[in-house]
Amino acid sequence: MFRPRVALLTAIALSAVLVGATALGWLLLPADIQRQFTGIQLATLVFFVIVMLAIMLAVGLSVVVVSDSGVVVRNGLRTHHFTWPEIRGFRFTADDPWAYVELVGEPETRPLVAVQRVDGERAAAAVDTLRAALARGRAT
Protein backbone atom coordinates (compact mmCIF):
# COMPACT_ATOMS: atom_id res chain seq x y z
CA MET A 1 0.00 0.00 0.00
CA PHE A 2 1.31 3.41 -0.95
CA ARG A 3 0.30 6.74 0.57
CA PRO A 4 1.66 10.23 -0.05
CA ARG A 5 3.84 11.12 2.93
CA VAL A 6 4.46 14.83 2.30
CA ALA A 7 0.89 15.50 1.13
CA LEU A 8 -0.55 13.76 4.19
CA LEU A 9 1.69 15.65 6.61
CA THR A 10 0.89 18.91 4.80
CA ALA A 11 -2.85 18.18 4.90
CA ILE A 12 -2.70 17.45 8.63
CA ALA A 13 -0.65 20.56 9.39
CA LEU A 14 -2.78 22.84 7.23
CA SER A 15 -5.97 21.38 8.69
CA ALA A 16 -4.72 22.14 12.19
CA VAL A 17 -3.76 25.68 11.14
CA LEU A 18 -7.14 26.22 9.46
CA VAL A 19 -9.13 25.03 12.47
CA GLY A 20 -6.89 26.92 14.89
CA ALA A 21 -6.97 30.15 12.87
CA THR A 22 -10.75 29.94 12.50
CA ALA A 23 -11.25 29.38 16.24
CA LEU A 24 -8.73 32.06 17.20
CA GLY A 25 -10.25 34.53 14.74
CA TRP A 26 -13.67 33.92 16.24
CA LEU A 27 -12.43 34.23 19.82
CA LEU A 28 -10.57 37.46 19.09
CA LEU A 29 -13.69 39.14 17.75
CA PRO A 30 -15.32 41.43 20.30
CA ALA A 31 -18.47 39.95 21.85
CA ASP A 32 -20.71 42.63 20.31
CA ILE A 33 -19.49 41.69 16.80
CA GLN A 34 -19.87 37.96 17.54
CA ARG A 35 -23.52 38.60 18.45
CA GLN A 36 -24.14 40.17 15.02
CA PHE A 37 -23.53 36.84 13.26
CA THR A 38 -26.62 34.83 12.48
CA GLY A 39 -26.87 31.07 12.81
CA ILE A 40 -26.84 30.72 9.03
CA GLN A 41 -23.66 32.76 8.75
CA LEU A 42 -21.95 30.64 11.41
CA ALA A 43 -23.17 27.45 9.72
CA THR A 44 -21.78 28.71 6.41
CA LEU A 45 -18.39 29.37 8.00
CA VAL A 46 -18.34 25.89 9.55
CA PHE A 47 -19.47 24.34 6.26
CA PHE A 48 -16.63 25.94 4.28
CA VAL A 49 -14.04 24.98 6.89
CA ILE A 50 -15.28 21.37 6.72
CA VAL A 51 -15.16 21.42 2.90
CA MET A 52 -11.58 22.73 2.93
CA LEU A 53 -10.57 20.09 5.50
CA ALA A 54 -12.20 17.36 3.42
CA ILE A 55 -10.39 18.42 0.25
CA MET A 56 -7.00 18.53 1.94
CA LEU A 57 -7.47 15.23 3.72
CA ALA A 58 -8.88 13.53 0.62
CA VAL A 59 -5.64 14.26 -1.22
CA GLY A 60 -3.52 13.35 1.79
CA LEU A 61 -5.38 10.06 2.30
CA SER A 62 -5.11 8.93 -1.32
CA VAL A 63 -3.86 5.36 -1.59
CA VAL A 64 -2.68 2.74 -4.07
CA VAL A 65 -3.08 -0.90 -3.03
CA VAL A 66 -1.48 -3.73 -4.99
CA SER A 67 -3.31 -7.05 -5.06
CA ASP A 68 -2.95 -10.31 -6.98
CA SER A 69 -5.58 -9.14 -9.47
CA GLY A 70 -4.33 -5.57 -10.03
CA VAL A 71 -4.30 -2.24 -8.24
CA VAL A 72 -6.92 -0.32 -6.31
CA VAL A 73 -6.49 3.44 -6.59
CA ARG A 74 -8.24 5.94 -4.34
CA ASN A 75 -7.70 9.53 -5.49
CA GLY A 76 -9.64 11.81 -3.21
CA LEU A 77 -13.16 10.44 -3.01
CA ARG A 78 -13.04 8.21 -6.11
CA THR A 79 -11.86 4.62 -6.02
CA HIS A 80 -10.89 2.62 -9.11
CA HIS A 81 -9.86 -1.00 -9.51
CA PHE A 82 -7.62 -1.78 -12.46
CA THR A 83 -6.85 -5.41 -13.26
CA TRP A 84 -3.44 -6.36 -14.61
CA PRO A 85 -4.77 -7.01 -18.15
CA GLU A 86 -6.18 -3.45 -18.21
CA ILE A 87 -2.83 -1.87 -17.33
CA ARG A 88 -0.31 -1.04 -20.07
CA GLY A 89 2.25 0.40 -17.67
CA PHE A 90 3.14 3.05 -15.11
CA ARG A 91 4.57 6.47 -15.97
CA PHE A 92 6.61 8.63 -13.62
CA THR A 93 8.85 11.05 -15.49
CA ALA A 94 10.89 13.83 -13.93
CA ASP A 95 8.20 16.32 -15.02
CA ASP A 96 5.27 14.42 -13.50
CA PRO A 97 3.91 15.64 -10.13
CA TRP A 98 2.73 12.08 -9.40
CA ALA A 99 2.78 8.68 -11.04
CA TYR A 100 0.23 7.60 -13.64
CA VAL A 101 -1.25 4.28 -14.59
CA GLU A 102 -1.47 3.84 -18.36
CA LEU A 103 -4.45 1.79 -19.45
CA VAL A 104 -4.72 -0.54 -22.45
CA GLY A 105 -6.93 0.84 -25.20
CA GLU A 106 -7.10 4.33 -23.74
CA PRO A 107 -4.92 7.22 -24.87
CA GLU A 108 -5.07 8.95 -21.50
CA THR A 109 -3.63 7.97 -18.18
CA ARG A 110 -5.05 7.98 -14.65
CA PRO A 111 -3.17 9.73 -11.86
CA LEU A 112 -1.86 7.88 -8.83
CA VAL A 113 -2.06 10.78 -6.38
CA ALA A 114 -0.69 8.55 -3.61
CA VAL A 115 2.70 8.37 -5.39
CA GLN A 116 3.92 11.98 -5.50
CA ARG A 117 7.16 13.48 -6.75
CA VAL A 118 7.72 15.38 -3.48
CA ASP A 119 8.19 12.02 -1.72
CA GLY A 120 11.43 11.61 -3.67
CA GLU A 121 13.08 8.19 -3.56
CA ARG A 122 10.11 6.74 -1.71
CA ALA A 123 7.89 7.54 -4.71
CA ALA A 124 10.43 6.15 -7.19
CA ALA A 125 10.61 2.93 -5.15
CA ALA A 126 6.81 2.71 -5.17
CA VAL A 127 6.73 2.96 -8.97
CA ASP A 128 9.43 0.27 -9.21
CA THR A 129 7.29 -1.94 -6.96
CA LEU A 130 4.22 -1.27 -9.13
CA ARG A 131 6.14 -2.13 -12.30
CA ALA A 132 7.43 -5.36 -10.73
CA ALA A 133 3.90 -6.27 -9.62
CA LEU A 134 2.65 -5.61 -13.16
CA ALA A 135 5.32 -7.93 -14.57
CA ARG A 136 4.30 -10.63 -12.08
CA GLY A 137 0.62 -10.04 -12.85
CA ARG A 138 1.22 -10.44 -16.58
CA ALA A 139 3.20 -13.63 -16.01
CA THR A 140 0.29 -15.37 -14.32
At residue 14 the predicted structure's pLDDT band, cuts being 50, 70 and 90, is: very high
pTM of the model: 0.79
Domain boundaries, the chain: 5-60, 63-139
Q: What is the pLDDT of residue 34?
A: 94
SS3 letters across the chain: CECCHHHHHHHHHHHHHHHHHHHHHHHHCCHHHHCCCCHHHHHHHHHHHHHHHHHHHHHHCCEEEECCCEEEEEECCEEEEEEHHHEEEEECCCCCCEEEEEECCCCCEEEEEEEEHHHCHHHHHHHHHHHHHHHHHHHC
pLDDT surpassing 90 at residue 106: no
| pLDDT above 70 as % of the chain | 100
Structure confidence by residue, pLDDT tens digits, 28-52: 999 999 999 999 999 999 999 999 9
Question: CATH number of the domain at 63-139, out of 1.10.10, 2.30.29, 3.30.160, 1.20.120?
Answer: 2.30.29
